[in-house]
Amino acid sequence: MSLKRCRAVVDEGLPSSDGSSRRKDEGLSSSDSNRTRRSHTRSLGLDDTPDLLARCKAGELEAFDEFVHRYEKFIFNIIYQHLGAKDEVEDLAQEVFIRVFRSIHKFRGEASLETWLYRIALNCIRTYRKSKGSFFRFFLQSLRIDVDDDRKQPQPFETISKVIKEIDDPMQAMEHQVIVSEVMAVVRSLPPKYRELILMRDVDGLSYSEIARIVGVSIGTVKSRLNRARQLIRKRVSI
Amino acid sequence: MNCQQFKKLISDALDGELTDSVRADFEAHRTNCKRCLKEYNYERRIRFYLKHFPTVHSVSSDFREELLRRIKAGEIKPELNLNVPAILATFCAIVIVLLGVIFGIKAYRSYVFQRWIFIATYETNANPENFQAVTGGRKVSEPSIERGSFSRPLFVLNLQELKAESLVLRLLSKYQEGKVPESLVESLLVNTGILDGVRMRVAEDKGGKALPGRAQRIEVIFPAQLSSTLVVGVKGSDLPALRRFALDVISTFGVYVPVLAPEDEVNLTMKNHLNHNGIVTDLVRLGNEELAKFVGDKYTVLIILSASDALINSSSK
């Protein structure tokens, strides 16, 4: 019964969350809808970013602190979406920002800053996943030793469910949240090359060209992999 | 637009990438076909839930504090580093396994291709005194000879300090190792009749059954003492192999090889069976380049050896 109700709600189109589909139905252009979906990432590109970047490149720690403050949610989101496990996100986010700190002087602005950060985060995630494999775990060891464990706070970030945020009826929101969890589990069970693309495109709202640049494949490959990924999800999800 | 075309366009439609004309067709089909509408809605629901994955709402300031502390403390090395002890242990394990494999192969080869040690003995009823022994190489006994008409020149291999039996054993040993061609063994031992009446048997091993890799002792039993001269017909192509074998024998046994004196030539050429004009060529002192010219024909090689003692116990690998 609850699944049927969820279907009805989604098919009818939620007033705030499914705006893109509504807009499409109303005849709005594709770029408009994509822009809306990417709003949370693009809103980070503030006017003073070039100046901040220049100061970071000069090695100013205060500027880098500001830079981290500005992009930490963005990076946390990427890692959280790709990894799924909350307890590993912080450590990996530290590694991403340290890698950014080491290589920020190499950033020339050929791609957007978000694309560059996304690529670094994705590389860190891939390395981390590899290091979790039994073969690499045997040959690799962690340099970082957390002597001061008491200083470390568990999960220094909070997540929020957009469904709960957007749907007023708590019961309905919970029912939707259950389905979201099911879809998340299916997405995380996909092979990496499909999982990464689905997360980048449908969750983070990146464009095909951005995904192609981050992953290092052609746009055609991105599209065909996305189609395959969606087929796999369709087969595994019953909603 | 049919259903198949519609399904292919669902993804693009949800991405908002259809042109106006295609979108009009697409929407018309969606309105009229219930199955396609269902498919479209299903795909849209998946997109909806994907877009509603939970996101990070806020990050604690502790995160930045910890990050800055690490940067200030210089803890900015890559988190993952090589685990040297594990790599060394793996490397050692691989080396040990490889050594084991190599040892195993070697043991197997030794087991399959067993080394032989040849030992010469005589038949107990043979009387060595019936055969003329040669001392100093001046006096030539009745030779073992391969008869036939061979091309000139006459090659001489002067090994007068080497016992004939030692030469035979060494040749058998080298043949067993595959270092001497079969045709040469045939020329030196079979065609000259040296091996007539020669028997071989595995020597009794007092230590019990031979272990893998341990050389097998082969007793070569000669019916009588060998003659001190061999007149052999050797193919031109086998001459370099014979020279190599001779050099190996000289270095192994440490025999002195004197230069042939003129009177030796006279004595040798006076033999009726040689049918020779008196010119001889020293095989050992002839270079390989010179020998390479003698290809195709069969040439006579006179091998001068010393007589054996009553019992030879010479062995070689």
- Provide the shortest C-alpha distance from residue B102 to chain A (in Å): 27
A 10 A CB-CB count for B295 gives: 11
B85 touches chain A (CB under 8 A): no
Per the CB < 8 A criterion, the answer to whether A218 and A161 are in contact is no
B28 touches chain A (CB under 8 A): no
Give me the pLDDT at residue A53, please: 85
pLDDT of B97 strictly over 90: yes
Residues above pLDDT 70, as percent of chain B? 76
Helix (H, G, I), strand (E, B) or coil at A130: helix
Please give the average per-residue pLDDT across A186-204, as a whole number: 88
pLDDT of B148 strictly over 90: no
A 10 A CB-CB count for B65 gives: 14
Q: Is the pTM of this model over 0.90?
A: no
Encoding tokens for residue A177? Answer: 């949240």
Nearest CA in chain B to A157: B59
Q: Which residues of B touch A204 (CB under 8 A)?
A: none
Q: Which residues of A touch B48 (CB under 8 A)?
A: 10, 14, 17-18, 21
> Of residues B312 and B50, which shows the higher confidence score?
B50
Encoding tokens for residue B84? Answer: 């040297």
- Subunit contact A141:B86, Cβ cutoff 8 A: yes
Q: Compute the C-alpha angle A123/A125/A127, nearest 5°.
A: 70
Residues above pLDDT 90, as percent of chain B? 10
Helix (H, G, I), strand (E, B) or coil at A125: helix
Please give the average per-residue pLDDT across B2-11, as a whole number: 85
Give me the pLDDT at residue B265, please: 54
Q: Which stretch of DSSP H or E encloses residue A212?
A: helix A208-215
How many angstroms separate the CA atoms of B90 and B100, rounded? 15
> Of residues A220 and A131, which shows the higher confidence score?
A220
> Of residues B278 and A183, which shows the higher confidence score?
A183
Give me the pLDDT at residue A162, please: 67
The residues with which B231 forms a beta bridge, in sequence order, are B145, B302
Please give the average per-residue pLDDT across B1-19, as a whole number: 83
- Subunit contact A94:B81, Cβ cutoff 8 A: no
Least confident piece of the model among A86-90, B41-45, B194-198: A86-90
One-character DSSP codes across chain B: --HHHHHHHHHHHHHT---HHHHHHHHHHHHH-HHHHHHHHHHHHHHHHHHT--EEEEE-HHHHHHHHHHHHTT--S-SEEE-HHHHHHHHHHHHHHHHHHHHHHHHHHHHHS--EEEEEEE-TT--GGGS---STTTS--PPEE--S--EEEEEEEEEEEEEHHHHHHHHHHHHHTT-S-HHHHIIIIITTTTTTT-EEEEPP-TTSSPPTTSPEEEEEEESSPPPSEEEEEEEGGGHHHHHHHHHHHHHHHT---PPPPHHHHHHHHT-GGG---S-EEETTTS-HHHHTT--SSEEEEEEEEEPP-SS------
Give me the pLDDT at residue B307, please: 57
Q: Which residues of A touch B28 (CB under 8 A)?
A: none
Give me the pLDDT at residue B217, please: 77
Please give the average per-residue pLDDT across A113-131, as a whole number: 87
Residues above pLDDT 70, as percent of chain A? 65
Please give the average per-residue pLDDT across A36-63, as a whole number: 68
Give me the pLDDT at residue B306, please: 74
How many angstroms separate the CA atoms of B145 and B274, rounded? 10
> Of residues A94 and A6, which shows the higher confidence score?
A94
Please give the average per-residue pLDDT across B95-122, as a whole number: 80
How many angstroms separate the CA atoms of A81 and A79, rounded? 5
pLDDT (tens digit, 9 = 90+) per residue, B199-223?
A: 888 776 655 555 555 667 788 888 8
pLDDT of B240 strictly over 50: yes
Residue B267 — very low, low, confident or very high, per pLDDT cuts 50/70/90? low
Nearest CA in chain A to B40: A11
pLDDT of B93 strictly over 90: yes
Residue B244 — very low, low, confident or very high, per pLDDT cuts 50/70/90? very high
- Subunit contact B83:A180, Cβ cutoff 8 A: no
A 10 A CB-CB count for B87 gives: 13
Q: Which residues of B touch A180 (CB under 8 A)?
A: 49, 52-54
The amino acid present at B133, given as its one-letter code, is A
B88 touches chain A (CB under 8 A): no
Helix (H, G, I), strand (E, B) or coil at A119: helix
Q: Which residues of B touch A40 (CB under 8 A)?
A: 55
Place of tokens 């746009």: A219
Chain-wide mean pLDDT for chain B?
Answer: 77
- Provide the shortest C-alpha distance from residue B210 to chain A (in Å): 46
Place of tokens 């499409």: A24
Question: Which value does ipTM take for this structure?
Answer: 0.73
- Subunit contact A160:B81, Cβ cutoff 8 A: no
Give me the pLDDT at residue B293, please: 83
B72 touches chain A (CB under 8 A): yes
Give me the pLDDT at residue B202, please: 77
pLDDT (tens digit, 9 = 90+) per residue, B169-192?
A: 889 888 888 889 999 999 998 888
Per the CB < 8 A criterion, the answer to whether B298 and B148 are in contact is yes
Q: Which stretch of DSSP H or E encloses residue A159?
A: strand A157-160
How many angstroms separate the CA atoms of B194 and B226, rounded? 7
Per the CB < 8 A criterion, the answer to whether B303 and B140 are in contact is no
Chain-wide mean pLDDT for chain A?
Answer: 74
DSSP-derived letter for residue A61 is H
Encoding tokens for residue B243? Answer: 């020279």
Give me the pLDDT at residue A32, please: 37
B77 touches chain A (CB under 8 A): yes
Nearest CA in chain A to B48: A18
Give me the pLDDT at residue A14, please: 47
Q: Which of residues 33-52 of B touch A (CB under 8 A)?
A: 41-52
- Subunit contact B50:A34, Cβ cutoff 8 A: no
pLDDT of B291 strictly over 80: yes
How many angstroms separate the CA atoms of B224 and B120, rounded? 11
Nearest C-alpha neighbor of B132 from the set B229, B16, B43: B229
Give Cα B231 to chain centroid, integer Å: 34
**B72, exposed or middle or buried, with CB in 10 Å at 0-12, 13-18, 19+?**
exposed
Please give the average per-residue pLDDT across B19-41, as a whole number: 87
- Subunit contact B71:A98, Cβ cutoff 8 A: yes
